[in-house]
Each structure stands twice: as structure tokens, then as C-alpha cells.
Amino acid sequence: MTLADLKRGNRARICGIDAAEQSVQRLMIMGLVEGAELECLGGSLGGDPMEFLLYGSALSLRRSDAQHFRVISIPVAT
């Protein structure tokens, strides 16, 4: 599963990155690294870009970039 597969309210932890693209390397500098936990806040009407909560800040990603980040699901705390 990748970040692009998440739906609004889903939480996930990054477990792998395909860092071949230069745009993905820039996102890694911003904190999208293995072990980082994110929450999907949703997306635009067409679904692109997507918005995530990362370390207390909202981050918007193109779906094509989000596909480079493999994630595992984290249960939502109630």
C-alpha cells in the first residue's frame, strides 16, 4: 500500500521509499522518511493533490509523488 491509497482519516507509517525521483528526495528533506507517521486529511475534488498531517503540519502531495512512499496502516485511536 502507498500514501496514494489512503482515504480521509486513515493513519499510516512510512515503511519504504522509492527515492529515484528528485521530487521524492525533496519530500524526504521535509520529513517524509521511514518511520514517519501521517494522517490522510483528504484531497481535492478530483483526488489530486492529497493532504496529509505530518508532525502537526498539513502537507499537500501530488498523487504521483505519494505513490513512491510505501506505508503500513496504523489503527485510529478512539
3-state secondary structure of 71: strand
What pTM does this model have?
0.88
CA distance 18 to 10: 21
- Pull the grid cell for residue 72: 503500513
For residue 43, the model assigns a pLDDT of 86
Which DSSP state fits 75?
P
| Low-confidence residues of the chain: pLDDT under 50 | none
pLDDT recorded at residue 75 = 87
Whether 76 and 11 have beta carbons less than 8 Å apart is answered as yes
Residue 78 has a pLDDT of 63
